[in-house]
Chains A and B, each alone.
Chain A
Amino acid sequence: MKKRVVQVLVAAIGVAMLSTACVSNSGSKGSADSGTTDFPNQQMNMIVQSSAGGLSDQISREIADLMGKDLGQTMVCQYKPGGSGAVGMSYVQASNPDGYTIGHTPVEMVMLKNLGYADLTSDDLDCLGRAYTTVGALVIKAGDDRFSTIEEFIQYAKDHPGEVKIGNAGTGSIWHLGAIGLENAAGVTFNHVPFDGSSKSIAALMGGHVDACVAAPIELISGVDGKELTVLATMGDERAEVFSDVPTLKESGIDYTLIHWGGFAAPKGLDEAVRDKLVDSLEKAVNSDDFASFLAERGMEPAFLTGDEYETFISGQTDLYKNLIDEAGLLSK
C-alpha cells in the first residue's frame, strides 16, 4: 500500500515539474515591460539561428558580449537551429517586443519566405541594423591540372556543360544560390551538389569528390595557407583583404557580385526609446575595434547599416535572391 502512495507521489511530482516548466516558459514572455526608461534592467537574450559553434554563433556571441557590456546587462545566447534559420528568426518574431530579445538575422532572412521555410520576411521583424559582410569565393583543389585561373575554369565549364561538380553548403543556401548566379553571369551550367554545411563541402573538395566550391573566405583561409586549396576569384566589388592577390569576378570580365551579410533584429513593436538604445548599442559594438579585429581574422568586414539605407539594401537583396530561388526551381508558391 505504502509503495502505491510513493508511486503516485512520484508521478505527481513529474506532472508538477512539467506544468511548472510550461508555465515558467510562457510566463517569461509576459513580464518585463514595466518601465522602459531604465531599460535594460534584466538579462537579455540573443537568439542564434544556428547551433552552437558555427560562424553565426561566434559572431552573435561577440556582438552579445559587446552590446551586453555597453548596456550593462548580460546577453545570453540561445540556439534555435533549423530550416536555414527559419526556426530562430520565427522565434524572434514571436517573442515579446520588450527589447530583451533580439536575434541574429543573416542573409537567409530575405530568402525564407520564397524558399517556403517560414512565412517570414524582413517586414515581420524590426531590423535594427546590418553588422558585417563577407564575399563569396570560388575555390578549387590546389594543383588541379584542368584549370588554375578563373578564365580557364569558366572555359572548362563551357566545354563541359553540366559536368563541373560544385559543392555547396545545402540546397537553398546562399552558396548554392550564389553558384546559380555565377552560372547565369558566366553562361555555364554546373552540377550542384548540396552538402550538410560548408565544412563538409570543403572536405569533399580537398578529397577530390567535387571540382569546386563556393564558400566564404573564413572556411578557406587555413586550406589556402596550407596549399590544399586555391581561390580562383572572389565575388565582391573590390578584392577581399584576406585574398588580396586573387582577382574579383568583375576584374575577370564576369559582371557578378555575391556577398554574404548579416545583421540583428528584434520583434516588431519595440518602444521607440528602447529601439534607439538597441540600435545605438549595436552601432557601437559593430564599430568597435574589438569587432573589427574579430572579423578581420575571419576574412570579414564590419559594415554597419541602419534605417532607410538598410531597408533599401534589404529590398534589393530580397529581389536578387527571389530571382535566384526562382531560377533554382525552389520558389514556393
Chain B
Amino acid sequence: MIIQAITAVLSPDVLLFMTIGVVVGALIGALPGLSVVMAISILTPITFSLEPAQGLAMLIGVYNSGVWAGGISAILVNTPGTPASIMTTLDGYAMTKRGQAGLALGINTIYSVIGGIISSIILMIAAFPIAKFALKFGPAEYFALALFGLSMIIGISEKSIIKGIMMGCFGFLLATVGLDSMYAYPRFTMGNMDLLQGIPYVAVMIGLFGFGEVLTQIFDSSSVLEKKEKTKIGRILPTWKQFRTFAPITFICALFSTVIGAIPGAGGDIASIICWDQAKKVSKDKENYGKGSEEGLAVTCVSNNGIIGGAMTTMMTLGIPGDAVTAVLIGSLMMYGLQPGPMMFVDDRPFVYKIMIMMIIANIVILVFGLATAKASAMLLNFKKEYIWIAIMILSLVGSYAINNSVFDVIIMLICGVVGFFLKRCDFPLPPLILGLILGSMAESNLRRALALSSGSFGVFFTSPISLVLIVFTCAALIGPFIMRIVKKGKKSEVAHEGE
C-alpha cells in the first residue's frame, strides 16, 4: 500500500502542484505578516477544482515551505516572516552581518528539511502514541511548559539580564490587554473595540523587527558613514564536519519539536525557543549562540519545521488541530470529503499514506528549490540599502495590514516600530518582549484554568509528572546560571566585568 501511495504521489501532476505550493509558500512565508494560515485558507477553495491528491499536495507544499521561508527574511533583514522564525533572527541575522548570508540560507534550508522529514517519519511510525501523549497536556502542563519557555528570557537577554527581564515583563503586560481569557472581562481596552482581541503579536513582531530595524539602520548610517561595499554571500553548504557536529543535537531537537507540535496550541515559536535555549546549554559552541552560531541557527530551523509532523499527527489521529495551520487543514480535508480523526486511518488508509509521503516529498522539493535560490535571495542584500529599507517599510505596512485587513494592526505595527527603535538605542533586547507576549497569555490562562479545575489547589502543578518535570527544569534554568557565575567568579574575577 505504501508503494502504491508513493507512485501515486510521484505522478507528474501531483508533483507539479506540490512545486507550485512550495513556491507560493516560499513567497508567503518570506513576507512578514502573510501567514501560512492565510495562504491555506485562501488556496483551499481554489484546490476544489483539482483532484484531492493534487489539492492536498499543494497545501502541504505551502505549509512546509511557508514555515521554512519564514527564516529567509529573518536571516536577510532581521524580520521574521512567521512567528515561528523569531529565533532564527538571533543567529541568522548575525551571520548575514558577518558576511555569511549564503551559508545561513543554506543551513536554514537543509535543517528545515531535515526537521520536516524526521517529523514526517515519526508521524508514520508513531502517530498514535504521540497523539496520546499530547493529550496528557492539560492546563497544569501547559502552564509549566509556558513557564519553561519563559525561563529562557535569560538566555536571549544579550548583555543585561535585568533589561531582558524588564522586556519580558513588558511583553507579559501587553499580553494582558484584551478580553481576559477566563472570564471574558475586558482589560486595558480603554473602550477601544479593536483592543478587545488583544495586542496582535504578529503586528508587534513586524513593527519591532521590521520597521524598527529600518529606523535603526537609517539612524546608524547617518552617524557612521561607511563606504558601501558588496555584502559577501559566501558559500551555501555547510561543511561535512559541521554537519556531523550538528547531527546529534539537531536530531534530538527534531524529535522534541515533533512532540511539541503534537500538543494542541503549542507551535513552532515555542518549540524553537525551547530547543534553542536547551541546545545552548549543552553546546560546546554556547558562547556564540545569539552571535551568529551556525549550530544555533540549525537548531531553530530544525525545530521550526519539526513541529509540522507533530501538528499533523494530532490532526490526523484525533481530529484536533495541533496548530493554527492544521485547524484550517481540517476544514480543507473535510471539503475533500475526508474526516480527520481515528477513523481516517481505517476508512481512508491509502490517503493517509499519501499525506505522509507528500510531507516527505514536499521537503525534498523545498531542499532543491531552497538551495537553488539561496544565492539569488542573498543577492537581494546587494541592492542599495535605501531600496531595501523602502522594500521592508512597504512589506511591513502591507504585511501588518494583511493579518486581518485592518488598519488598527498597521497602527500597532508603526507604534511598535518607533518603540522598538528607542528600546534598541537603549540596548534593551527585543526578543524577550515577544516571548512575554506570546507565552504570557498561555501562562496566565492555563494557570487560572488549572486552578479552576483543582478548585484552587496549587498541588496540580506538582502531582502531574509532566508538569513537575517541566517545573524542575525551569528552576534549574533559573538557578543554574546563578550558580555557574558564582563558580566562575571564584575561578577568575575579571569575567564579571565582561558581562557589563
Interface residues of A (CB under 8 A from B): 3-4, 6-7, 9-11, 13-14, 17-18, 21-22, 25, 51-54, 57-58, 61, 65, 78-84, 86-87, 90, 115-118, 165, 170-172, 191, 193-196, 199-200, 202-204, 206-210, 221-223, 225-228, 297-298, 330
| Other-chain residue from B186, B265, B319 in contact with A196 (beta carbon distance below 8 A) | B265
A221/B196 in contact, CB under 8 A: no
Closest 9 CB pairs of A and B: A222-B341, A82-B197, A226-B342, A222-B319, A209-B138, A53-B328, A83-B196, A207-B135, A52-B41
Of all chain A residues, the one with the shortest Cβ separation from B195 is A82
Of all chain A residues, the one with the shortest Cβ separation from B48 is A65
Tell me which residues across on chain A come within 8 A of B341, comparing CB atoms: 221-223, 225-226
Tell me which residues across on chain B come within 8 A of A204, comparing CB atoms: 138-139
CA separation between A14 and B215, bound complex, in Å?
11
**B179 at the binding interface (Cβ < 8 Å):** yes
B343/A203 in contact, CB under 8 A: no
Residue contacts A-B, CB under 8 angstroms, 15 given: A3-B225, A7-B221, A17-B393, A18-B397, A18-B414, A51-B37, A53-B41, A82-B197, A117-B186, A171-B182, A193-B139, A195-B449, A206-B320, A207-B136, A223-B319
Q: If A10-B389, A207-B136, A223-B318 touch, does A52 touch B328 (CB 8 Å cutoff)? A: yes
**B487 at the binding interface (Cβ < 8 Å):** no
Tell me which residues across on chain A come within 8 A of B265, comparing CB atoms: 196, 200
Which of A6, A203, A208, A225 counts the most B-chain CB atoms under 10 A from its CB? A203
CA separation between A29 and B335, bound complex, in Å?
34
| Other-chain residue from A115, A165, A195 in contact with B184 (beta carbon distance below 8 A) | A115
Q: If A7-B218, A57-B41, A297-B334 touch, does A200 touch B453 (CB 8 Å cutoff)? A: no
Count of chain A to chain B residue pairs whose CB atoms are closer than 8 Å in the complex = 172
Tell me which residues across on chain A come within 8 A of B407, comparing CB atoms: 21-22, 25
- Stretch from B19-27, B71-79, B398-406 at the A interface: B398-406
Tell me which residues across on chain A come within 8 A of B40, comparing CB atoms: 53
Q: Report the minimal beta-carbon distance from B443 to chain A, rounded to whole angstroms.
A: 13
**B481 at the binding interface (Cβ < 8 Å):** no
Q: Size of chain B's interface in residues, with CB distance under 8 A?
A: 63
Tell me which residues across on chain B come within 8 A of A209, comparing CB atoms: 138-139, 453
B186/A194 in contact, CB under 8 A: no
Which of A54, A209, A221 counts the most B-chain CB atoms under 10 A from its CB? A209
Of all chain A residues, the one with the shortest Cβ separation from B449 is A193
Q: Report the minimal beta-carbon distance from A112 to chain B, rounded to whole angstroms.
A: 11
| Other-chain residue from B197, B393, B449 in contact with A81 (beta carbon distance below 8 A) | B197
CA separation between A110 and B277, bound complex, in Å?
47
B196/A202 in contact, CB under 8 A: no
**B129 at the binding interface (Cβ < 8 Å):** no
Q: Report the minimal beta-carbon distance from A21 to chain B, rounded to whole angstroms.
A: 6
Q: Report the minimal beta-carbon distance from A184 to chain B, rounded to whole angstroms.
A: 20
The contact string, 1 if C-beta is below 8 Å from chain A, for chain B 22-51, is 000000000000000110110001000000
Interface residues of B (CB under 8 A from A): 37-38, 40-41, 45, 135-139, 178-179, 181-184, 186, 193-194, 196-198, 218, 221-222, 225, 264-265, 318-321, 324, 327-328, 331, 334-335, 337, 339-344, 386, 389-390, 393-394, 397, 401, 404-407, 410, 414, 445, 449, 452-453, 455
Tell me which residues across on chain B come within 8 A of A84, comparing CB atoms: 179, 184
Q: If A21-B407, A25-B407, A222-B343 touch, does A53 touch B193 (CB 8 Å cutoff)? A: no
Tell me which residues across on chain A come within 8 A of B137, comparing CB atoms: 207
CA separation between A13 and B319, bound complex, in Å?
48
Label chain B's interface by main secondary structure. Answer: helix
Tell me which residues across on chain B come within 8 A of A191, comparing CB atoms: 452-453, 455
Of all chain B residues, the one with the shortest Cβ separation from A117 is B196
| Other-chain residue from A4, A13, A83, A225 in contact with B197 (beta carbon distance below 8 A) | A83
Q: If A10-B389, A52-B37, A207-B135 touch, does A194 touch B328 (CB 8 Å cutoff)? A: no
CA separation between A208 and B137, bound complex, in Å?
10
Q: Report the minimal beta-carbon distance from B372 to chain A, rounded to whole angstroms.
A: 31
| Other-chain residue from A3, A78, A79 in contact with B221 (beta carbon distance below 8 A) | A3
Q: If A4-B222, A17-B394, A221-B341 touch, does A10 touch B386 (CB 8 Å cutoff)? A: yes
A202/B320 in contact, CB under 8 A: yes
Of all chain B residues, the one with the shortest Cβ separation from A52 is B41
B445/A87 in contact, CB under 8 A: no
Tell me which residues across on chain A come within 8 A of B194, comparing CB atoms: 82, 87
Q: Report the minimal beta-carbon distance from B46 to chain A, rounded to whole angstroms.
A: 11
Of all chain B residues, the one with the shortest Cβ separation from A226 is B342
Of all chain A residues, the one with the shortest Cβ separation from B394 is A17
Tell me which residues across on chain B come within 8 A of A11, comparing CB atoms: 218
Q: Report the minimal beta-carbon distance from B412 to chain A, rounded to whole angstroms.
A: 13
Tell me which residues across on chain A come within 8 A of B136, comparing CB atoms: 207
CA separation between A54 and B136, bound complex, in Å?
24
Given contacts A52-B328, A87-B194, A209-B453, could you give 5 more A-B pairs where the C-beta distance is less than 8 Å?
Answer: A80-B404, A191-B455, A202-B320, A203-B135, A227-B342
Tell me which residues across on chain A come within 8 A of B138, comparing CB atoms: 204, 207-209
A81/B389 in contact, CB under 8 A: no
Q: Report the minimal beta-carbon distance from B181 to chain A, rounded to whole angstroms.
A: 6
| Other-chain residue from B340, B390, B404, B414 in contact with A222 (beta carbon distance below 8 A) | B340
Tell me which residues across on chain B come within 8 A of A221, comparing CB atoms: 319, 339, 341
Of all chain A residues, the one with the shortest Cβ separation from B326 is A53
CA separation between A28 and B194, bound complex, in Å?
20
Q: Report the minimal beta-carbon distance from B143 to chain A, rounded to whole angstroms.
A: 12
Q: Report the minimal beta-carbon distance from A321 to chain B, rounded to whole angstroms.
A: 14
Q: Report the minimal beta-carbon distance from B342 to chain A, rounded to whole angstroms.
A: 3
A78/B319 in contact, CB under 8 A: no
Q: Report the minimal beta-carbon distance from A265 to chain B, rounded to whole angstroms.
A: 17
Q: Report the minimal beta-carbon distance from B452 to chain A, rounded to whole angstroms.
A: 5
Tell me which residues across on chain A come within 8 A of B390, comparing CB atoms: 10, 13-14
Q: If A57-B331, A87-B196, A225-B342 touch, does A206 touch B455 (CB 8 Å cutoff)? A: no
Tell me which residues across on chain A come within 8 A of B197, comparing CB atoms: 81-83, 87
Of all chain A residues, the one with the shortest Cβ separation from B41 is A52
A170/B389 in contact, CB under 8 A: no
Tell me which residues across on chain B come within 8 A of A116, comparing CB atoms: 186
Tell me which residues across on chain B come within 8 A of A200, comparing CB atoms: 264-265
Tell me which residues across on chain A come within 8 A of B327, comparing CB atoms: 53-54, 199
CA separation between A53 and B414, bound complex, in Å?
28
Which of B194, B265, B319, B410 counts the most A-chain CB atoms under 10 A from its CB? B319
A222/B135 in contact, CB under 8 A: no
Of all chain B residues, the one with the shortest Cβ separation from A298 is B334
Tell me which residues across on chain A come within 8 A of B182, comparing CB atoms: 171, 194
B183/A52 in contact, CB under 8 A: no
CA separation between A203 and B181, bound complex, in Å?
17
A210/B397 in contact, CB under 8 A: no
Q: Report the minimal beta-carbon distance from B288 to chain A, rounded to whole angstroms.
A: 33
CA separation between A248 and B328, bound complex, in Å?
31
A78/B405 in contact, CB under 8 A: yes
